[in-house]
Amino acid sequence: MEIKIAQDLFENEAKLADANKERMKQRGLMAVNIMGTPGAGKTAIIKNTARLLKIPMSVIEGDPASSIDTDLLKTIGIPAYQINTEGICHLEAKMVAKALDEFEVPPRSILFIENVGNLICTASYPLGEALRIVVVGASEGDDKPFKYPDIFQTANAVILNKMDLQAAVDFNLERFYKGIQSLHNKLPVFEVSCKTGKGMESWVNWLAVQVATFWAR
Amino acid sequence: MEIKIAQDLFENEAKLADANKERMKQRGLMAVNIMGTPGAGKTAIIKNTARLLKIPMSVIEGDPASSIDTDLLKTIGIPAYQINTEGICHLEAKMVAKALDEFEVPPRSILFIENVGNLICTASYPLGEALRIVVVGASEGDDKPFKYPDIFQTANAVILNKMDLQAAVDFNLERFYKGIQSLHNKLPVFEVSCKTGKGMESWVNWLAVQVATFWAR
């Protein structure tokens, strides 16, 4: 019975996500699900991307509590909408549907959906996104692909942030790539530092290609 | 109905945890539930604690996949047992019960239970532990108590690791303490660096007091 409940749950989630996807597609919104550990720099990635890529962007923020990231984004002129999950460890399609009802997002734009800081359950809940990006920080160690394989397996790209700390934390790049390759051969990995700005250009160029392709469909 | 199912679930979890607690108490095992973000340094804390505190210790390791931390602990002579949660984002009392069946733990010792890297759901599942410790890294930012209040509210102590990176990541200690104080006035916080060893002594001394008190009961 447990398996049956789980199947129904995930079928229902997939349906709700498809409805979001259709709704966003009709308005030309490319949704980017930003997943990662707490403190990996998800908001910093969005902030820096908005500075470099002159395409309209807005953000749905998911956190168990607080509106810290939403407040920060608004102060720098990025429209943002806060979802507080009240103890739920991931965003769900119905939360995003509600946000789409209430949040005025400009058509033909990028809609970042910053998920709750969690490398596990976020991977199992589709939101209707066009892209799934995993953000991890070098300071969290080079073993994450081995320990949390599912989220890397379902991602479209990985952003390895905080590369300015690589030497200080003895991060072994070779081991990290070995982990990635063991799961998903062609996954693009962008080594960046939000602090110094290094590496951000490659990520932004890749993202621009995805947006252009999305709009060309 | 959803609320009723959740109530039953948590009542059942509490019962299983109490059974673990009684079982460990009879053998003089002080269980310490180590929770925290992925890559906060939970295993490093255990490793360094074992080096400084000459009391028998063993470790139950929880990870979605891999046996990296268990292998590491065994190579330095710390008995360790791996639980792979297969996509579940937290340890549960029944997993610990199974570990207690299979894992030979010396009586009158400290049993660390290293939880899955997750700041949310781990807080809701009691395992039968005597102490709940939250480990976060300075490199993950000073806003964690505001964003993930539940886990800090139910903890007995916080270890703030990676303090060697404080300046490099602009970690604001005052903001972090403001977050902690807003939730739980008397929560002890240990500022440490597993890399340099700084601050570990205060943590180990505090832990020794807890063990002695536990055994005196």
Q: Go through the domains of chain A in sequence order and give each one's CATH number.
A: 2-216 (3.40.50.300)
How many cross-chain Cβ pairs, A to B, lie less than 8 Å apart?
123
CA A107/CA A57 separation, integer angstroms: 10
Q: Tell me the shortest Cα–Cα distance from B118 to chain A, in angstroms.
A: 6
Write out chain B's pLDDT in tens, 217 residues. 566 777 888 899 999 999 999 999 999 999 999 999 999 999 999 999 999 999 999 999 999 999 999 999 999 999 999 999 998 999 999 999 999 999 999 999 999 999 999 999 999 999 999 999 999 999 999 999 999 999 999 999 999 999 999 999 999 999 999 999 999 778 999 999 999 999 999 999 999 999 999 999 8
Average pLDDT over residues A146-172: 97
Q: What is the mean pLDDT of chain B?
A: 95
Please tell me the predicted confidence (pLDDT) of residue B8.
Answer: 86
Residues of A in contact with B39 (CB under 8 A): 37, 136-137, 139-141, 143-144
Q: Which of B140, B146, B195 sits opposite A39 (nearest CB)?
A: B140
Residue A215 has pLDDT above 70, yes or no: yes
Q: What is the mean pLDDT of chain A?
A: 95
Please tell me the predicted confidence (pLDDT) of residue B3.
Answer: 65
Token pair in block for residue A153: 């397996």
Q: Tell me the shortest Cα–Cα distance from B83 to chain A, in angstroms.
A: 12
> Quick one: pLDDT band at residue A7, thresholds 50, 70, 90?
confident
Residue A124 has pLDDT above 80, yes or no: yes
Tell me if B165 and A139 make a contact (CB, 8 A cut-off): yes
Best to test chain A binding among B63, B148, B171 (most A CBs inside 10 Å): B148
CA A204/CA A142 separation, integer angstroms: 24
ipTM for the whole predicted complex goes beyond 0.85: yes
Tell me if B165 and A164 make a contact (CB, 8 A cut-off): no
Residues of B in contact with A124 (CB under 8 A): 87
Please tell me the predicted confidence (pLDDT) of residue A4.
Answer: 73
Q: Which of B40, B64, B169 sits opposite A147 (nearest CB)?
A: B64
**Any B CB within 8 A of A89 CB:** yes
Average pLDDT over residues A67-86: 97
Please tell me the predicted confidence (pLDDT) of residue A1.
Answer: 52
Percent of all residues in chain A with a pLDDT value above 90, rounded to a whole number: 93
Tell me if B120 and A64 make a contact (CB, 8 A cut-off): yes
Average pLDDT over residues A201-217: 95
Best to test chain A binding among B119, B152, B176 (most A CBs inside 10 Å): B119
CA distances from residue A160 to A185, B80, B98, B125, B168 in whole angstroms, order as listed? 17, 30, 36, 31, 17
> Quick one: pLDDT band at residue A5, thresholds 50, 70, 90?
confident
Residue A2 has pLDDT above 90, yes or no: no
Edge to edge, the sheet with strand A29-36 lists A80-84, A57-63, A109-114, A29-36, A131-137, A157-161, A189-191
Tell me if B65 and A117 make a contact (CB, 8 A cut-off): no
**Any B CB within 8 A of A21 CB:** no
CA distances from residue B64 to A25, A75, A151, B102 in whole angstroms, order as listed? 34, 38, 11, 19
